Structure 1
């Protein structure tokens, strides 16, 4: 099974003492296809920076994502305008998540721990992974 992977899945998988570390590791290992929007790569690096990762550690983790045979990097240009359509009454602060949702709508599945994004995806009938987040 394949799914669009949100940056928080990669972050939780990388940070061993994070609350969802084991779940994120199990999730990414269970998928045979990782659909990774370009913006997710940027978000992951931004979060690595916030978490104090060194340039070398961040690069190594991004290389692992990009060169994993399960990774399909998405050219998200075709979804950039659809992101505005999915914003509806939300502020531009939700634009990146809207682009990720547009891609997940096409793919049919989204891996994320973001509760607000999960609620939006549920309304669009997008399969959520993990199925339950506590």
Structure 2
């Protein structure tokens, strides 16, 4: 089983008192390959900083994630950027939604389900006919 991981999954896994921590840890253990787009990793680092965590902790956690054998850090391709920008233009949404659109574009190209807790991203994925990682899959 494989999935593209959204930023909120990494945040819930990291923050032990978060509402989905145990569920995320359990699900991540059951997934064989975790695709981690570079934009998600960058966003994760920025979110951790915004939450007030120390840079030393953030660096340790980022390295821990990257050392995990099942994690495949994945570069976003130019075709993904073009597709994401096309979605933004067609939907007339704020450019700040670029990270979600990049995840959608990567999922569309790779046909790998998205693992997220973001309701808006889930809805967009389903509207586009993309797979979303579901509880019954775990």
Q: CA deviation at 1:18?
A: 0.7
Q: CA deviation at 1:108?
A: 2.5
Q: CA deviation at 1:60?
A: 1.1
Rounded to whole Å, the distance in 2 between the matches of 1:51 and 1:130 is 28
- 1:39-58 residue CA offsets vs partner (Å, 9 max, x unmatched): 00111001110111111111
Q: Which residue of 1 aligns with 2:87?
A: 86
- 1:73-116 residue CA offsets vs partner (Å, 9 max, x unmatched): 11103311111122222221211110111111223300000010
Q: Which residue of 2 aligns with 1:128?
A: 132
Give TM-score scaled by structure 2 length. 0.89
Rounded to whole Å, the distance in 2 between the matches of 1:130 and 1:15 is 22
Secondary structure, aligned partner of 1:76: coil
Give TM-score scaled by structure 1 length. 0.91
RMSD over aligned Cα atoms? 1.4
Number of matched pairs: 132
- Structure 2 gaps of 5+ residues are none
Answer whether contact 1:3 1:107 (CA < 8 A) is retained.
Answer: no
Q: How does 1:1-134 map to 2 (within 5 A)?
A: 1-78=1-78, 79-87=80-88, 88-89=90-91, 90-105=93-108, 106-131=110-135
- Structure 1 gaps of 5+ residues are none
